[in-house]
Amino acid sequence: MPVKMLLCLLALSILAENGMLISHAQQDARSAEDVSESRVLEFAKEHHPELAGLLEQLRTSRSKEFNKAMRELSGQVQKLDRIRERTPARFEHELGLWKNESQTRLLVARWVMSQDPELEKEIRGLLKQRHEMKLTQLKLDRDKLTERLKALETQVETAESDPDAQIEEEWKKLSRRNNRKASESLSSPPPSQKAKDSKQ
């Protein structure tokens, strides 16, 4: 096994041993039902092949750490699957964040073992990318809230414009509807009378 891969594998096992493969923002997914091991590996192969390769190595050499890593990664995969199902428009953003964090953690693990300045440069680049992604999403969320706030302000202005006229209009609707119901009730014979009529 190449020295770089061996060092990265060792660092990954340390991360798994200390429960560092999952971020604080994703800890709420731990309580969820685990997804299958094959689903986790499939997800990793598709979105972070290096992580998938390291997990395969970890499975054959350090089963305890592998199982712990799989439990925590399954929570992350399940969370992303839920986002894809419920809010597809946000999935690509959340997936991008996951890939960024996953790549960052592996590079940090390698940097811990080597203190390589080039790795530090890569990590800083990923941190900058993550910051920009989060900022973009915050701006989108802000814009949505601004639109919602404008709509609410319009509703407030409408409600405040002429409350007496609005109350009068609501009363007319209520009275018309209930008068109609009362008329229908009076014009219809009671159930007992209907039964008598049907017998005759």
Least confident stretch, 41-45, 121-125, 143-147: 41-45
Q: Is the pLDDT of residue 138 over 90?
A: yes
Mean pLDDT, the chain, whole residue set? 80
Q: Is the pLDDT of residue 26 over 50?
A: no
Using pLDDT thresholds of 50, 70 and 90, give the confidence band for residue 194.
Answer: low
Q: What is the 3-state secondary structure (H, E, C) of the chain?
A: CCHHHHHHHHHHHHHHHCCCCCCHHHHHHHHCCCCCHHHHHHHHHHHCHHHHHHHHHHHHHCHHHHHHHHHHHHHHHHHHHHHHHHCHHHHHHHHHHHHHHHHHHHHHHHHHHHCCHHHHHHHHHHHHHHHHHHHHHHHHHHHHHHHHHHHHHHHHHHHHHCHHHHHHHHHHHHHHHHHHHHHHHHHCCCHHHHHHHHHC
pLDDT in tens, 77-101: 999 989 999 988 889 999 999 999 9
Between residues 108 and 31, the one the model is more confident about: 108
Question: What is the arithmetic mean of pLDDT over 67-73?
Answer: 85
Using pLDDT thresholds of 50, 70 and 90, give the confidence band for residue 133.
Answer: very high
> In this predicted structure, what is the pLDDT of residue 125?
96
pLDDT in tens, 153-190: 999 998 888 888 889 999 999 998 888 877 777 776 66
